[in-house]
Chain A
Amino acid sequence: NAGVTQTPKFRILKIGQSMTLQCTQDMNHNYMYWYRQDPGMGLKLIYYSVGAGITDKGEVPNGYNVSRSTTEDFPLRLELAAPSQTSVYFCASSPGTDFYSNQPQHFGDGTRLSIL
């Protein structure tokens, strides 16, 4: 099992460019999440999905879009990159949600994104 795989690991973008951060999991988890981690701050939830075809906004969704066409994949799209989106992005998955499942979230190793 590879777990949660994120690509690319590093990326530098220019302001206004767009890109897609890829995330795939091989654990057949229904729930998937995107977080961002800024230096010295706690992780913030961007978007989440409770299953294929179902997505919803988290705490900081502005400037991002997601889709979930399969159980395995949950890509995150940045349409018009801005310097404020410089961060480390983590994808995670779990068999259930936080509030009725005691199953842990499994995280990928992150994508480090710089926007200049």
Chain B
Amino acid sequence: KNQVEQSPQSLIILEGKNCTLQCNYTVSPFSNLRWYKQDTGRGPVSLTIMTFSENTKSNGRYTATLDADTKQSSLHITASQLSDSASYICVVASGGSYIPTFGRGTSLIVHP
């Protein structure tokens, strides 16, 4: 069964600090991995999309990494801001399937 596990479940950091969120998956065959940011009461917004051949992708202060061999991904947030407070969701798409596998998300709270 395809699964996506995210850790930690929740995280509290101070404004200006860096943090790293983890995503482990057992989806096969692998097509691509996406990170989304979901603000409270809003729909998810795409941050990065990585295919099998990509191991790093950045979007401003967000940098995602992918290790396809170990089936792990991380999302690094640099110099956090209050607006980074949100849920971060890892999604893995399987080749040949329209049904992606979503993680449960990591809830990030940035305090001033």
- Establish whether residues B103 and A42, one from each chain, have CB atoms under 8 Å apart when the complex forms: yes
Stretch touching chain B among A64-72, A78-86, A97-105:
A97-105
> Which of the four size classes fits the interface of chain B?
20 to 34
Stretch touching chain A among B64-72, B76-84, B92-100:
B92-100
Number of interface residues of A (CB under 8 A): 27
Q: Which of A4, A50, A97, A109 contacts B41 (CB 8 A)?
A: A109
Pull 13 A–B residue pairs with CB atoms less than 8 Å apart, ordered by A: A42-B4, A42-B105, A45-B98, A45-B100, A97-B98, A99-B31, A99-B32, A99-B95, A100-B31, A103-B49, A104-B46, A107-B44, A108-B43
Q: A-contacting residues of B (Cβ < 8 Å)?
A: 4, 31-32, 34, 41-46, 49, 51, 89, 93-105
